[in-house]
Amino acid sequence: MKQITTVRSSPAPHWVGDGFPVRTVISPRGGKALGPFVLMDFAGPFEFEPSDSPRGVETHPHKGFETVTIIFEGEVEHRDSVGNSGKIGPGDVQWMTAASGILHEEMHSKAFTAQGGVLEMAQIWVNLPAKNKTADPGYQSLLASDIPKVKLPDDLGSVGIVAGDYLGTKGAARTFTPINMWTVTIESAGEFVLPIPEGQLGGVYVREGAVRFGDEVVHATEIAEFPQNGAGLPAACDGPTSLIVLSGEPIDEPMVAHGPFVMNTSDEIREAILEFQSGRFGSIPARAHP
Ligand code: MN
């Protein structure tokens, strides 16, 4: 069995653009990642007033990894330099492969901006091994109805399998390396085991409620980290709880994360900056007038 090694609280929120008040739960600072997970920002829940001006993050680049956006409340629109665009709402996930380089914008949807309301979402950065950092950029829109759900035993709740495998049920996303990304909803008190395989490390983020691992209680906005050794992570909840489970095989390569780029070396970061400055990542068409 796996045992958790560390419980960390997430720092106070800061703003990303004018649309995303985020706590940085996993940070690449100091060259450290959590296995293949370079960064995790959790936004909100935060109530926005109705507005007639767009909110979010305007055009910016990424290279060398994938961004995964999970929406719990609110609605976000994406457009990128490959020509992909999409709108995702509660339960939907957007899996964007930046790989060799992309420009995108991440904005609140027009309707959500106009009506106002609560935004709650997570963005996770999944690293790519060197051999996949040169892959073409891509985009997977995973709507809630595309994401397989499996019931936990004893009617405890359910697991949404965004990526990977949960007891034989395959996740919705294509991934480059072995990764599990599950959203776990617990409805009543009970014990369960998260079937995380030997060889994968990662963390359990508590979105709502609390979860116990042995004697350790992990509360909302905290993340519990677990190591590669052991298979299966025993857990217990005393009531309604919402978790994000991330596990993966570590990518055994040097990592240099700088702003929106995650590469293997500082030279490659400098190249990425030059490529961005010289327009190599293309462009996004101007937004149509409303
Ligand atoms: Mn971005």
Q: Give residue 288's pLDDT.
A: 61
Q: Give residue 32's pLDDT.
A: 76
Render pLDDT for 112-157 as a digit per residue (tens, 0 to 9).
Answer: 999 999 999 999 999 999 999 999 999 999 999 999 999 999 999 9
**Percentage of the chain with pLDDT > 70?**
98
- Residue 268 has φ and ψ, to the nearest 5°, of -65, -30
Render pLDDT for 62-105 as a digit per residue (tens, 0 to 9).
Answer: 999 999 999 999 999 999 999 999 999 999 999 999 999 999 99
Q: Give residue 6's pLDDT.
A: 95
Model pTM? 0.96
- The answer to whether 93 and 172 have CB atoms below 8 angstroms apart is yes
Please tell me the distance from the alpha carbon of residue 162 to that of residue 142, in angstroms, as a whole number.
8
CA of 124 to the centre of ligand 1 (A): 10
176: left (phi over 0), alpha (psi -120 to 50) or beta: alpha
Q: Give residue 31's pLDDT.
A: 67
Render pLDDT for 37-67 as a digit per residue (tens, 0 to 9).
Answer: 999 999 999 999 999 999 999 999 999 999 9
CA of 46 to the centre of ligand 1 (A): 19
The residue type found at 145 is S
CA of 81 to the centre of ligand 1 (A): 12
